[in-house]
Chains A and B, each alone.
Chain A
């Protein structure tokens, strides 16, 4: 009984941390969308900023990956 409650907690925690990935998706979408909006206003300056775009996406995505990692750890390692 005790073990199964711990098991349940693990799964609930993993599910909750999956929210984090969705939120990171919002963040990545925000970065890319704002970049696109800016790029459409000033297309000539967009080319030089793709590196910045990818760095921004990478940072936003890393946090989603962290929550994914938490989910994995809960599922498989704890």
Chain B
């Protein structure tokens, strides 16, 4: 791989030290058969109180990146390189015991499937109260009162009754609210949300998105929100990072990335999404499949599927190109002379 220079985002944004700093993060899963390169050098910063949306398809490494921030991967088979700083904590360096303390209190996570995140044998109230007690050492009554408060925070109707309910007695939307309440129970500074609305109906999804956005702003929390749905990103993101084959291939303000995408992959993904197109015409699908992470091509990972790909693209990974607004894309066809990023539409001559 070529030398990587992380996009210098701190210059584009005038704020001081970022709350979350990830630098050249690489995650490999090693087994007898193969080495899966799930994350291949990603760098980004996130300020306090901002929401970063990571967009990517399955196998893009977005969930792996999130789990690395919580050090949830099995140690034996995982190789993690790079720096992850959350506040003043170096996630890669803290002891296991300290990490256990940080989970929940500093960083907390909401998963896609609420049913698997809850224990079916305990009531919702028991589970929230238990989390609070473990981290804050409250009495049983105080913890229970806090659980009630949390359910009110996530706007669960008739929370007293729901505290005594078992997970299977709740609807999908209420369950996800309960999981969010649990994640918020120790006032984390960073909330990681891994597709928390994917399993929900559109009507409930929007409720959860509005709720998360509100709570995040009220608590001044930073949030990384992983999704494959561009519409969800538009709803919740300040910053958007598009991942492909373990790399961030486009990054910027939500507006810039979603309304003025520069990387061919982001463009293609937007074009492929069904949205009021003429039903008599085929959708502009992206041909082919994402690359096999066990045998990544040398150059741009998207080149084999890219209609603009030229001979350079197959040889080397393009370096990041960043404009003054902090909009970054990794593509040879993108230029940032003085103003915003610009894409060279010309299709390369076949070599």
Q: Do A and B bind each other?
A: no
Listed in ascending order, the chain B residues whose CB lies under 8 Å from chain A are none
